[in-house]
Chain A
Amino acid sequence: DTGVSQDPRHKITKRGQNVTFRCDPISEHNRLYWYRQTLGQGPEFLTYFQNEAQLEKSRLLSDRFSAERPKGSFSTLEIQRTEQGDSAMYLCASSPGQSFRELFFGEGSRLTVL
């Protein structure tokens, strides 16, 4: 399978716990995006990486959220001190580069905070 891979697919946690999601983009895609989607809404942009550089971070991303892409390949999204409002689907997408504008999405990581 050469698509975008996300892990874990489902995570149930208690409020106040930390969680981390991993995304492996399509090989050689240098652009990586994180989105969040709640029920009945479209995906909301969270952050964007070009190679290892985080070039934009949405105001939606509070200080409890941090994303990294240390070697320009896989990325992690960590949520500290989770709140019930963090419950959502976290989608990762990748894109080859500037001349190719479509985003390819992974299957998502669904977070439930109890």
Chain B
Amino acid sequence: QKEVEQNSGPLSVPEGAIASLNCTYSDRVSQSFFWYRQYSGKSPELIMSIYSNGDKEDGRFTAQLNKASQYVSLLIRDSQPSDSATYLCAVNMGSGGYNKLIFGAGTRLAVHP
């Protein structure tokens, strides 16, 4: 079992729709979770971080965390063609006081006009 799992996609949604991206992880003691966006040929850029169970909203983005189910998701409202990218879920699996992010393989999102 991979440590962080995501559907590879592509997830295709029409412009203006809600895109829902999901991620599961294996380490029950993980405490911090991140969503990164990566455009083709570019480096990952942080979109959201979430540390507590529940929802966290930032503009059109909402991250949801359920530690009991070891599940984290990202909702993108009013999807735009510029949101077309690969979305990487990252889980902090560091120990001994340092942060070690383990990434999923990413979900490719395509927003079509």
- Residues of chain A at the chain B interface (Cβ within 8 Å): 31, 33, 35, 40-45, 48, 50, 55-56, 91, 95, 98, 101-108
Contacts and interface: CB of A to CB of B under 8 A. Distances in A.
A41 B45 contact: no
Contacts of A98: 97-99
Nearest to A105: B43
Interface residues of B, number: 24
B8 interface: yes
Interface centre among B4, B46, B99, B106 (most CB of A within 10 A): B99
28 contacts: A31-B98, A33-B100, A40-B8, A40-B105, A41-B106, A42-B103, A42-B104, A42-B105, A42-B106, A43-B44, A43-B103, A45-B102, A48-B98, A48-B100, A55-B96, A55-B98, A56-B98, A56-B100, A91-B43, A98-B98, A98-B99, A101-B34, A101-B92, A101-B99, A103-B99, A105-B44, A107-B43, A108-B43
Given A33-B101, A101-B49, 12 more contacts: A40-B8, A42-B106, A45-B100, A45-B102, A50-B98, A91-B44, A95-B99, A98-B99, A102-B49, A103-B46, A105-B43, A107-B43
Nearest to A44: B103
B97 A103 contact: no
Q: Is the interface of A mostly helix, strand, loop or mixed?
A: strand
A21 to B, nearest CB: 14
Contacts of B105: 40-42
Nearest to A100: B99
B72 interface: no
B60 interface: no
A36 to B, nearest CB: 11
